[in-house]
């Protein structure tokens, strides 16, 4: 099949594109190579993908609507998977316009391109951040998600709503998935695992926000990729509506799905796992909760299991161990 994926120089897009290429599919990767974090890391990911003859990289910004449309129209993909976004909860406090431009204008350009070619399946990345500080746990897709705590979360919820309107108006089969704290090799340097391992390797303090009382539903990257590919083969349809728990719209071929294992881990337990696998204690610096942070994330995987027959299962110890092995091999090369 033919896949058009945005954000292939990013963490998740890289892993997804590589898996699809290994399975023999064609992939066009669209990425802006923004300097939010190390360009050397992004360039290393891209260099690994261009080794595949069935991969074609396009460098450009999502805000350039004509460039997006031209490349989608020329490739005519079977599936568009829109992963590119300005990421990071904390950075949205410093530079909200980057989120407006990339996550709203850029996502609208993807919707327009999908409409123009009548794509077979449009898939969009959302986030667990849309649930905010929802007191009910675990987080179900049918829960209200109308109180975002950051502009980042607001842009992601807005993208879900825009996509629903396009699915209704233009009959575009659309699946939006909400990620829960994805981690693993080739991960983002601004995420906790990368930051903690780097600091511990260099003998520096790690900063622990919320006095370590937070918890996260960690999802290993391979599990996430499995779920995205499985969902790509399941078009939202009344034929596969799941009774009672489905988010399948009654007005459009549109569905929301959590991708998380439903096994939250306390932040201090997470740190102790890293310490045990590295064989050294961390120098800890306790800090208060940062503005915009949520106390916990906790996915209900019930809809994902009903649709695909499985959920993320790779243990934290196994996933952290894989990251440590990757980091030891690549840290000199990625800056």
What does the pLDDT look like over 161-199, one tens digit per residue?
999 999 999 999 999 999 999 999 999 999 999 999 999
Mean pLDDT of the chain: 96
What does the pLDDT look like over 107-118, one tens digit per residue?
999 999 999 999
Q: How many domains does the chain have?
A: 1
Query: Has residue 273 been placed in a domain?
Result: no
Query: Has residue 269 been placed in a domain?
Result: no
- Categorize the per-residue pLDDT at 154 as very low, low, confident or very high, splitting at 50, 70 and 90: very high
Query: Has residue 285 been placed in a domain?
Result: no
What does the pLDDT look like over 246-267, one tens digit per residue?
999 999 999 999 999 999 999 9
HEC profile for the chain? CEEEEECCCCHHHHHHHHHHHHCCCEEEEEECCCCCCCHHHHHHHHHHHCCCCCEEEEECCCCCHHHHHHHHHHHCCCEEEECCCCCCCCHHHHCHHHHHHHHHHHHHHHHHHHHHHCCCEEEEEEEHHHHCCCCCCCECCCCCCCCCCCHHHHHHHHHHHHHHHHHHHHCCCEEEEEECCEECCCCCCCCHHHHHHHHHHCCCEEEEHHHHCCEECCEEHHHHHHHHHHHHCCCCCHHHCCCCCCCCCCCCCEEEEEECCCCCEEHHHHHHHHHHHHCCCCEEEECCCCCCCCCECCECCHHHHHHHCCCCCCCHHHHHHHHHHHHHHHCCCCC
Domain that holds residue 145: 2-182+218-262+297-313
Indicate the pTM of the whole model: 0.97
Mean pLDDT for the stretch of residues 299-319:
98
- What CATH number does the domain containing 115 carry? 3.40.50.720
Residues annotated as catalytic (active site), given as ranges: 152
Query: Has residue 63 been placed in a domain?
Result: yes
């Amino acid at each position: 099949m033919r896949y058009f994926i945005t954000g292939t120089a990013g963490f998740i897009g890289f892993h997804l594109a590589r898996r699809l290429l290994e399975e023999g599919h064609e992939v066009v990767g669209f990425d802006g190579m923004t300097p939010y974090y190390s360009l050397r890391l992004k360039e290393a990911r891209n260099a690994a993908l261009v080794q595949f003859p069935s991969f074609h990289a396009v460098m450009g910004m999502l805000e350039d609507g004509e460039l997006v449309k031209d490349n989608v129209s020329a490739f005519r993909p079977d599936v568009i998977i829109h992963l590119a976004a300005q990421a990071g909860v904390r950075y949205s406090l410093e530079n909200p316009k980057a989120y407006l431009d990339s996550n709203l204008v850029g996502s609208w350009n993807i919707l327009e391109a999908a409409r123009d070619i009548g794509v077979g399946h449009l898939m969009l990345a959302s986030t667990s951040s849309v649930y905010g500080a929802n007191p009910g746990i675990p987080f179900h897709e049918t829960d209200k998600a109308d109180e975002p705590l950051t502009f980042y979360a607001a842009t992601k919820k807005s993208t879900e709503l825009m996509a629903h309107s396009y699915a209704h108006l233009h009959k575009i089969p659309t699946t939006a998935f909400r990620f829960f704290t994805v981690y693993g090799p080739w991960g983002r340097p601004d995420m906790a695992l990368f930051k903690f391992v780097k600091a511990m390797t260099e003998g520096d303090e790690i900063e622990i926000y919320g006095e370590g009382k937070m918890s996260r539903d960690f999802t290993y990257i391979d599990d996430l990729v499995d779920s995205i590919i499985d969902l790509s083969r399941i078009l939202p349809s009344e034929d596969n509506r799941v009774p009672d728990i489905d988010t399948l719209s009654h007005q459009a071929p549109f569905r929301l799905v959590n991708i998380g294992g439903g096994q939250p881990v306390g932040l201090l337990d997470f740190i102790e796992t890293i310490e045990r696998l590295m064989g050294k204690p961390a120098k800890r610096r306790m800090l208060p909760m940062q503005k915009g942070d949520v106390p916990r994330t906790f996915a209900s995987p019930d809809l994902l299991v009903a649709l695909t027959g499985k959920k993320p299962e790779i243990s934290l110890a196994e996933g952290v161990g894989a990251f440590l092995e990757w980091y030891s091999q690549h840290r000199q090369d990625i800056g």
